[in-house]
């Protein structure tokens, strides 16, 4: 069972982000509960990835506030936010293509626990062990000496997920973790996401297009449309919300 103690680890308050004349996010407020799995859905172009990018500091926001563990982070840079323990994966999947899987893992150790000079340290045996253990966890152990770039797209997604776990974040934001993965692997991935949440205690915030996946996974779901927050609630409430159905069918 997930421990939901009502404490919000990410608090987004009235965030607006525009690109020229295009309003990508308008007055969005939402909360991610510590220890829970929170979902975010919405049609293409509804501003989900923009919101993710704003949270991790990829671009500055126009107005509003973003708090992580009670501290304002909307002015921090990407590395600083990652080093607080708030990590994201990418929709288009990003791994280090000319390094093998083990190397990809070894360089993903939690840098927030390291000082400036720790970069000159040798690779520790426990890091290697953890890397192999996590590669086994996502099912890539047999492929561990292959170059990241030689893996299939689905395997790269799994590698990216394993790298994120290696980093020991307190919150992991996943941008469409199942996109491009074949249907038989999807069930395994849902299972692993839940285990990452329960066994490693990582709070998850997931963007997902696959309704079956998100309804299965998340305890609380936000729905965006046209850059605005349209609805929120439990999977049951969201599924039966007429506004959400209209947004997806194009009535909006």
Partner 1 sequence: MKWLVYIAFIAISLAAPLVFPAYTQQFSALWVLIILAMTWDMQGGQMGYNSLGNIFFFGFGMYVSAVVQVSIAHDIGEYTYAGGINVFQFTDGQYFTGLVLGVAAAGILCALLAFPLGWILFGLRGPYFAIGTLGVAIAAGEMVGTWEWVGAGQGISMPPFPGNPDTAKFVLYIMNMITGMVCFAVIAWLYSTRFGLALNAIRDDEQKAEGMGLQTLWIKRVCWAVAAFFVGICGAIYGNTVGFIEPLEVAFQTIYLGIFMVVAVLLGGKGTLWGPVVGAIVFHTLKEVTWTHFLGWQWVALGVLIVVIVVYFQEGIMGWLQRQRPEWFGIRVESREPEAEAAT
The residues binding partner 1 (CB under 8 A) are 56, 78-79, 82-83, 87-88, 90, 94-99, 103, 106-112, 116, 118-123, 141-142, 144-146, 148, 163, 167
**Number of neighbouring beta carbons within 10 Å of residue 242:** 9
If the CB atoms of residues 133 and 194 are measured against partner 1, the closer one turns out to be 133
If the CB atoms of residues 101 and 217 are measured against partner 1, the closer one turns out to be 101
Mention every residue, 6+ apart, whose C-beta is less than 8 A from residue 158.
138, 139, 140, 189
Q: Tell me the closest approach of the beta carbon of residue 171 to partner 1, in angstroms.
A: 13
Note whether 5 and 34 are within 8 A (CB).
yes
If the CB atoms of residues 73 and 190 are measured against partner 1, the closer one turns out to be 73
Q: Tell me the closest approach of the beta carbon of residue 122 to partner 1, in angstroms.
A: 6
Q: Tell me the closest approach of the beta carbon of residue 233 to partner 1, in angstroms.
A: 31
Cα(76)–Cα(114) distance, integer angstroms: 19
Note whether 38 and 220 are within 8 A (CB).
yes
Q: Tell me the closest approach of the beta carbon of residue 89 to partner 1, in angstroms.
A: 9
Could you list the beta-strand ranges (E) of the chain: 8-19, 22-33, 37-41, 63-68, 71-72, 86-88, 171-175, 203-207, 220-225, 228-233
Mention every residue, 6+ apart, whose C-beta is less than 8 A from residue 193.
37, 174, 177, 204, 206, 217
Structure tokens at 27: 């007055």
Distances (CA, A) of 112 to 57, 98, 101, 137, 205: 16, 25, 22, 23, 20
Q: Tell me the closest approach of the beta carbon of residue 28 to partner 1, in angstroms.
A: 22
If the CB atoms of residues 52 and 232 are measured against partner 1, the closer one turns out to be 52
Give 139: exposed, middle or buried? Use CB within 10 Å, 0-12, 13-18, 19+.
Answer: middle
If the CB atoms of residues 30 and 81 are measured against partner 1, the closer one turns out to be 81
Q: Tell me the closest approach of the beta carbon of residue 148 to partner 1, in angstroms.
A: 8
If the CB atoms of residues 23 and 146 are measured against partner 1, the closer one turns out to be 146
Q: Tell me the closest approach of the beta carbon of residue 94 to partner 1, in angstroms.
A: 4
Cα(180)–Cα(243) distance, integer angstroms: 28
If the CB atoms of residues 61 and 229 are measured against partner 1, the closer one turns out to be 61
């Amino acid at each position: 069972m997930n421990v939901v103690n009502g404490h919000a680890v990410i608090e987004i308050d009235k965030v607006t982000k525009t690109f020229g004349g295009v309003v990508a996010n308008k007055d969005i407020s939402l909360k991610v509960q510590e220890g829970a799995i929170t979902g975010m859905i919405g049609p293409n172009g509804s501003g989900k990835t923009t919101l993710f990018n704003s949270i991790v500091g990829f671009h500055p926001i126009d107005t509003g506030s973003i708090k992580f563990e009670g501290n304002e982070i909307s002015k921090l840079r990407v590395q600083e936010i990652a080093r607080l323990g708030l990590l994201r994966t990418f929709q288009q999947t990003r791994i280090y293509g000319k390094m093998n899987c083990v190397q990809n893992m070894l360089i993903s150790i939690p840098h927030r626990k390291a000082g400036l000079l720790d970069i000159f340290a040798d690779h520790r045996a426990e890091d290697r062990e953890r890397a192999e253990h996590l590669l086994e966890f996502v099912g890539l152990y047999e492929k561990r000496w292959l170059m990241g770039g030689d893996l299939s797209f689905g395997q790269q997604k799994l590698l990216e997920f394993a790298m994120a776990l290696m980093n020991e974040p307190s919150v992991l934001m996943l941008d469409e973790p199942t996109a491009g993965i074949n249907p038989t692997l999807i069930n395994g991935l849902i299972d692993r996401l839940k285990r990452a949440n329960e066994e490693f205690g990582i709070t998850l915030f997931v963007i997902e297009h696959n309704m079956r996946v998100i309804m299965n996974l998340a305890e609380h779901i936000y729905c965006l449309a046209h850059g605005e927050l349209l609805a929120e609630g439990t999977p049951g409430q969201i599924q039966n919300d007429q506004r959400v159905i209209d947004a997806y069918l194009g009535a909006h």
